[in-house]
Structure 1
Amino acid sequence: MLSRRTVLAGSAALLTGPARAQNPPLRFGVIADPQYADAPPNTAMGRYYANSLDKLSAAVETLNAQDLRFVVTLGDVIDRDFSSFERILPLYRKLRHETRFVLGNHDFEVGAAHLGQVVDRLDMPGSYYDFVVQGVRFVVLDGNDVSLFAPPQGDPRWQLAQERLAAAKAAGLPNAKPWNGSLGAAQRAWLERTLAAAQRAGERVVVMNHYPVLPENPHNLWDSGEIVAVLARFPNVLAYFNGHNHAGNYGQAHGIHFVNFCGMVDTPDTSAFAVVEIAGDRIDIRGYGREPSRSLPLRAA
């Protein structure tokens, strides 16, 4: 169990250094894959769905003790059933910080009648969106856009998802899995416009999505290579943060850090969440529980 003293000591360690005293850091919380459900655990996969309520409550208490601009959850707030939102969302309302959400595949395990209600239930401005804090533009993607579970059957995006998955399987790709997804043409064009606008404005960028794109992994977006190629064109992109692969992961390419945060739902009683600090020439990640801490150097602007 993390004590308040441990939390405050860790916060102080992140804030040391004369450069950071002169330029206040941007600090925010990150949670990935609480995946709550009122359901027995899947011990074969190591997922303890109901235990996420206690884990999230403890994380909220820890995060509330710190000076943060917002807290983001990188998808899979629930594991299944639309009613699961009724149990877990009140815990998020106890945060004293602004709360942001990214859509995950399990957030759409709610039945056909509720598919169109998920974005509103999470009080999101849209399935993909962006916002700016302290000169950093956060670009939130929706990797469920073209998938087998978010669009209703018969939707053109659902039909396109079948074609993309079939092509990935034919190519023998490791991420040719039905639980992954991809971006549609409209979202891809929006991403490029948004990155270009951030570059013109002199803003640095952090991209957030539920699905990883790097390193190669069975959990990656079906169009992961294409997304990495887009990001590589913009030197103002600092990092790409995601969940989905509950084991966590890390990669680096084109001067961009690709950080896969660990899933909170895993294990009976060990949590996983983080506080991220962007200051000067580094991104520092203070991990709690299963989440490792990292210090990531940034390329020169």
Structure 2
Amino acid sequence: MPCSDTFLFRFGIIADPQYAAIAPNAAMDRYYANSLAKLVEAIEVFNAQELSFVMTLGDIIDGIWESFDDVLPVYEKLRHENLFLLGNHDFAVPAEHLAAVSTRLGLPSPYYAFSHRGWRFVVLDGNEVSTCAPPADHPYRQMAAERLAALTARGAVNAHPWNASLSDEQFAWLAAQLDAAEAVRERVIVMNHYPVYPPNEHDMWDRERIIDLLCGHDNAVAYFCGHNHAGNYGKTGGCHFVNFKGMVETETENAFAIVEVCEGRLEIRGFGREESLSLAL
């Protein structure tokens, strides 16, 4: 329910438009081209609200570089601050474009943080150590192969090439952000493309250390992600883990959300297939 007099601010969430002007994959219920009209609908709803920003949780496109030329003008109609993070399908472009993906979307850096009204938002680059994002000769490609092989040998449920992990450097940066936020009494929402909890085949390869880090900080109250188009939710320690549903799924049903930040809870108002949640802090 709405926060009424304890309302602080609102922001919008979109996950996995995965737009491409290609035929649908009906077997997987993915209708890539239809995401353009769904984005138009979502932005119309967002523009009718007073929002601080709108975040898209990765997979803006489905691997065709020219798709950015179609989808970014739709986002330009948004009257609020427009923020992105990157997903694995954003990097399924030809190799010569890999280094330009972040720049094409106007990211200040592949991972970043910002503060708003006493809250800190920490935005991760979940693709950093992966089989999709680093250039072919980059050490992180070899590291990704080794991490995936180790998980496969253990029979881990998330041992799949469509998942990824953080570098040790980015993980240390995340820890420093949590500590810095704690020092100034900021609550933290972490945003990433990939889920980490509850255990699922779509989770980050280094899910355990991320969960342990977040649960070790009382100010880390939520982790928002996409990637698993079916959506998911869990809570461990004091942190809520919300996996938003993929917009690309289904021929006609949309999926997006508005998050209302309150003094004592987060209210997630879902549209279309997205479920509404009330998360006590």
The TM-score range, normalised by the shorter chain, is over 0.9
Structure 2 residue identity aligned to 1:161: A
Indicate the residue corresponding to 2:76 in structure 1: 93
Indicate the residue corresponding to 1:14 in structure 2: 2
Indicate the residue corresponding to 2:30 in structure 1: 47
Structure 1 residue identity aligned to 2:25: N
Question: Offset of 1:259 from its aligned partner?
Answer: 0.2
Indicate the residue corresponding to 2:181 in structure 1: 198
Q: Does 2:155 correspond to 1:167?
A: no
Structure 2 residue identity aligned to 1:194: Q
CA distance in 2, matches of 1:153, 1:67: 43
Indicate the residue corresponding to 1:184 in structure 2: 167
Q: Does 2:36 correspond to 1:36?
A: no
- What is the total number of aligned residue pairs between the two structures? 281
Q: Does 2:264 correspond to 1:281?
A: yes
1:80-159 equivalence runs, <5 A: 80-159=63-142
Structure 1 residue identity aligned to 2:2: L
Q: Please point out which of 253, 273, 280 is paired with 2:236.
A: 253
Question: Offset of 1:140 from its aligned partner?
Answer: 0.3
Indicate the residue corresponding to 2:225 in structure 1: 242
CA RMSD of aligned residues (A): 0.8
Which digits, 9 at most, give the CA deviation of each residue in 1:49-80, with x for residues without a partner? 00000000010001100000000000000011
Which digits, 9 at most, give the CA deviation of each residue in 1:205-243, with x for residues without a partner? 000000000000000000001110111111001100000
CA distance in 2, matches of 1:199, 1:158: 34
Structure 2 residue identity aligned to 1:280: E
- Give the SS at the match of 2:61: coil
Indicate the residue corresponding to 2:195 in structure 1: 212
Which digits, 9 at most, give the CA deviation of each residue in 1:84-130, with x for residues without a partner? 10100111110000011111000001110000000001100111000
Note if contact 2:3-2:267 (Cα within 8 Å) is conserved in structure 1.
no
Unpaired runs of 5+ residues, structure 1, are 1-12
Aligned residues with identical type, % of pairs: 57
- Give the SS at the match of 1:14: coil
Structure 1 residue identity aligned to 2:255: A
Note if contact 2:3-2:262 (Cα within 8 Å) is conserved in structure 1.
no
Q: Please point out which of 290, 293, 299 is paired with 2:273.
A: 290
Give the TM-score taking structure 1 as reference length: 0.92
CA distance in 1, matches of 2:103, 2:235: 34
Give the TM-score taking structure 2 as reference length: 0.99
Question: Offset of 1:164 from its aligned partner?
Answer: 0.2
- Give the SS at the match of 1:62: helix
Unpaired runs of 5+ residues, structure 2, are none
**Which structure 1 residue ranges, 4+ long, deviate > 2 Å from structure 2?**
none
- Give the SS at the match of 2:26: coil
Indicate the residue corresponding to 1:272 in structure 2: 255
CA distance in 2, matches of 1:30, 1:240: 13
Structure 2 residue identity aligned to 1:113: E
- Give the SS at the match of 2:114: strand
CA distance in 2, matches of 1:15, 1:53: 32
Structure 2 residue identity aligned to 1:231: L
Question: Offset of 1:15 from its aligned partner?
Answer: 4.2
Which digits, 9 at most, give the CA deviation of each residue in 1:159-198, with x for residues without a partner? 0000000000000001000000000011011111111000
